[in-house]
Structure 1
């Protein structure tokens, strides 16, 4: 009888550890998406003239499986590097996307960065698609 109780206890602990790992993985993915959004915001701050001219804006979300060409300008290079970062950290899948929308108003540039990724490994209920939206002024 004692062996049965211990076995059930060990199975419960194993399930608890597995659930903990999946939720920690989900939290790490959201943190990496937040870091990526701040990364491109900092790149746009460093290249303010291009950002205020709308060169970082994306007409369609950039897919991590089809990163834009890095040649031609600093903005293209930064967008390519950002896309690579999204793919490396959140998975190279069509569901991993990033979008940027900047609007210049006077001397300010208001930017919104949207990152979407598949969080199905989290194992939680609800939507598997997660979106991290970061808005800031350059």
Structure 2
């Protein structure tokens, strides 16, 4: 009985400590690295430098969907300090930043059903890429 009671008391503390030790800057950089790698592969297909591959297109949009779902929560107050290219506008204009992220997620969701063909992928990928450019021009240092 005592070990169970001890575990019940300690487990929430351990979980809270583990969460507090996460690094949102590194987490968002990892997500953006994955998105960037997938975007490079998509751009190659878009430009005809690589053949269209429906499985690869699906992997690209899966990465976009998963990354977009997590990304917004990785900009808490105070995460503007450190090794980050996020501009102060992320925090000073949070509503605008959140709107840009919502536009990305909407473009991904709208395009995903159409990526099974080369033409569908090109259209969907182009729409998503436009949201990336718009957001980066305002919220990311070059």
TM-score normalised by L of structure 2: 0.32
Q: Which has the higher strand share?
A: 1
TM-score scaled to structure 1, two decimals? 0.33
Give 1 or 2: higher helix fraction: 2
